Structure 1
Amino acid sequence: MADLEMKLLGLWCSPFSRRVELALCLKGISYDYIEEDIQNKSPELLKYNPVHKKVPVLVRDGKPIAESLVILEYIDDMWDDKPAILPQEPYERAMARFWARFIDEKCLPSIWKAFWGPKKEQDEAEKEACENLKALENELKGKKFFGGSSIGYLDIVANFIAYWLDAIQKTAGKTILTKESFPLLSQWKVDFVACKVVKENLPPWERLVAYYQIRIEAAKASNDDGKIQIY
């Protein structure tokens, strides 16, 4: 199948945008990348994602697809002649989707709140975050990756935990994911980031740490940690 004109509207520091880039690279799909400024959204972004006005947005032959989980499934379905991202067995596919939504709807919000939620709620949020991480830890028993012996859909979705979380822990001066408490997740992080394709699709470490540090200081100066957001 010949590729039609395709472009990705993304943001360099966004784990959601990087999910799509990684999936495209794993599939060997070429695309044009357009860097967005979330503080000054382009007319193109507003045109292609008028509902959420967020990245990522994949545009193929003028047709936009928004939301990273939706885009990942679209990529897997559209280029089914290339290595699969989602499991092929229906039950395993359903479970991968379940855990992906668990990460986005439960795990990431609880982690974010544990670091930058209201002070009086951080301790409880940290407990919840650890419980959520423990659930993911259990999913890795007997496996190198969530996808088994190779990187798959759920590994891509969990990229925030593998890389961005360390940058947040460094800038916030607090650690919730340790080798002692989460040995399987900790080893998974090492194996995931060590993969050549993954490494090539991660934001520069020092730049990412500096980015979060700037946002933390700006939020403190305005006395509003709610301004620190994950994109």
Structure 2
Amino acid sequence: MDVLTTHAEFLDVNCYAVRAEGRSDCILIDSGYDCAPALERLLAEESLAPQAIFLTHGHPDHILGLNNVLARWNVPVHLGGADRYRLDRPATMLSPQFAQMLAPLVEGWAAPEVTDIADGENFEVAGLTVTAVSAPGHTEGSMLLRVVADAEEIIFTGDVVFAGAIGRVDLPGGDARAMQDSLRAFAALPDVPIYPGHGPASRVGRELATNPFF
């Protein structure tokens, strides 16, 4: 598999394109604010056509680029069902301080159509198998996305696990106890590469050995 990365302007979100070896189609992971132009250039350079968008969770920094992305590629969007409500009023989904910062970014926002995904649900798209694993704690609908092609596996962790850190649980919808359960489930995953919503890539085993939250 190839993982291609762009960075959205607001809060430096990682937005990914993933392709199976030898394919000219791909999937997209997360859609941060104003990611579309850089993503369009990247996909044009690689001659890639996206087939679906998977969102790790519904926080505004991961979803505000959706409408611009969908204007370029009309593809299905998948999001954990418990986070669907977050698309309706994204500016209110973080702290009051963030609401003020987000106000100019959500002018004219209209929630796009999304398909709910559930724990354990599998998708076969662009030569990839995508399995959603419920991982609440940061948000109610946070998902780990396990992506497999030709026996190779990688995991997109969103804001559940970062390199050396974990996601916040003090924002609306956060739950420290649920996060602990999600981290225990993460610890049982195979030692494969992980790609978080912010910051550098890592591996499951590296995080279990060095991340102070494990």
Q: Same-fold call, TM > 0.5?
A: no
TM-score (norm 1): 0.31
Larger fraction in strand: 2
Greater radius of gyration (CA): 1
